[in-house]
Amino acid sequence: MATDTELQTIEEIEPFEAAEEINGDGVVLIDTREPHEYQEAHLDGGKLVPPGLLADEIATAAPDKSARTILYCRSGNRSALAAAQMQKLGYENVASMSGGILQWQEQGLPVVSPSGMTPEQRERYSRHTLLPEVGVDGQVKLLNAKVLLLGAGGLGAPTALYLAAAGVGTIGLVDDDVVDASNLQRQVIHNTERIGMAKTASARIFIEGLNPDVKVIEHNGRLDASNILDVIRDYDIVVDGADNFPTRYLLNDASVRLRKPVVSASILGFDGQISTFVPYEGPCYRCLYPTPPPAELAPSCSANGVLGVMAGTMGTLQANEVIKLILGKGNPLVGRLLLYEALGTSFTELKVRRDPDCPICGENAEEIPESEMGQFPDYDAFCAGAGGDR
Amino acid sequence: MATVKIPPVLRPKAGGQPEVEAGGGNVGEVLRSLTGEYPETQDQLFGDDGELNRYVNVYLNDEDVRVLQGLETTVEDGDTVVILPAMAGGAS
């Protein structure tokens, strides 16, 4: 049959041969794949002519039928068929690159990646980019995102682990504590060898070992009214896993001022709760909890214990919220509070509404002048006094 | 009867259970039947004026009773009343 004969006469060349030829003059390079494949990565100088459009577009991409023309596709099949088609159209010097761009990359030859992702990144994040909700564009958003974790402990550890694995490009960590043996039952980014090390430093070692794409910024200290605006200003999203109410209220007030979304969770025993506060789109932390509880109603994990895996469950839910916010996909927990009770394995969802009288984000909240942006109430006094006169 | 979900911090004062059954025609009556059964919960839920403490959120099913009729909100058989104080555990 004619087709068989033509296919047999197609010249096939190896990637390294193609690479040598491409370096010379007068070679036309044609990419015979679909646009989305081309967008992800292509050979430098390759002109896109999808198979279905070859008859219409090849004359523009390769006007000289006597010029040396090299075709490639993903693995070598489509380019062979296209080469046959071009020979029929009168092209005299066509070759198909065997093995396609896959083999080209396997041999370490360079590609152009308009997305800015390296071949290593395309491999590492391939299970993300296969998802229509993420794709290459979404992965690039993750790589460019800056997320601040308040606390590198129970909640911060699993959140950091999954955000780092997901390729969130910059992860800031605020913590003034050192790794203690009693942390290791739940704080999975630290380990036995690093007992005594600053948690931010220990977290950095873990994150950098997991994913070299992530830049870690250590804030080894505590957030207070004097530094919070400067610390959170450069981040896109803040994750609140703070262990005390003064910090939670301070973070809320500062994040509303700077309009930074906050993913907030807390855990105790077998119980956890999580919500996402996006300033002026939904309620803030004060709309949900206008005043902190008295000390006897607000015990800490150190006094009461916490099931280790609870930190993982709630921390990874926080990571999920962060990733959705970065991608702009799905429905984050804005205006919703999710409660999880681990003994019964039950979830309860509650509605949280913006409080029109909220002193921070309500309709009547006073506009804060620039000169007072960094001035906050005394949260320690505010929280210590709570419940005292009730 | 309504199901009352008890937060972890109140459980030691309410028989240790995550939820209890309590009767009443409105949210206030349901909570008072809880405090009648477990008197130690009284001070945690209510102030001296008989109003709910501001730091305790109460939900009928998934809605904050503050946006309904507060303690007067009608409770039907099978409804869930959620008691929710703020929690801050996380990092330590």
Q: Is the pLDDT of residue A245 over 90?
A: no
Is residue A78 predicted with pLDDT exceeding 90? yes
Among the listed residues A339, A321, A320, the one whose alpha carbon sits nearest the alpha carbon of residue A268? A339
A243 touches chain B (CB under 8 A): yes
Interface test with B, best of A176, A177, A178, A300 (most B CBs within 10 A): A300
Cβ(A134)–Cβ(A128) under 8 Å? yes
The structure's pTM equals: 0.76
Query: Which residues in chain B are closer than 8 Å to A301, comparing Cβ atoms?
Result: 89-90, 92
**Radius of gyration (C-alpha) of chain A in whole angstroms:** 28
Distance from CA of B51 to the nearest CA of A (A): 10
What are the tens digits of pLDDT across the range A2-49?
444 445 589 999 999 999 998 888 899 999 999 888 877 899 889 999
* Cα–Cα distance for residue pair A346/A326, rounded to 1 Å: 28
CB interface of A with B, residues 268-327, below 8 Å? 268-271, 273, 288-294, 296-302, 304, 306
Tokens (6 digits) for A115: 């997305």
Facing residue for A293 by CB, picked from B55, B64, B91: B55
User: Can you tell me whether residue A306 is helix, strand or coil?
Assistant: strand
Q: Is the pLDDT of residue A70 over 50?
A: yes
Residues in chain B with CB shorter than 8 Å from the CB of A348 are: 5, 62, 80, 82
Yes or no: say if A282 and A331 are a contact pair by the CB < 8 Å rule.
Answer: no
CA distance B67 to chain A (A): 9
Q: Closest chain B residue to A247 measured between Cα atoms? A: B88
**What is the distance between the alpha carbons of residues A339 and A324, in angstroms, rounded to a whole number?**
19
Across the interface, do B18 and A288 touch by the CB < 8 Å criterion? no
Q: Over the stretch A98-109, which tens digit does the pLDDT of each residue have? A: 999 999 988 888
The answer to whether A343 contacts B18, with C-beta atoms less than 8 Å apart, is yes
Residue-wise pLDDT for A334-345, tens only, equals 999 999 999 999
| Residue B48: predicted pLDDT | 87
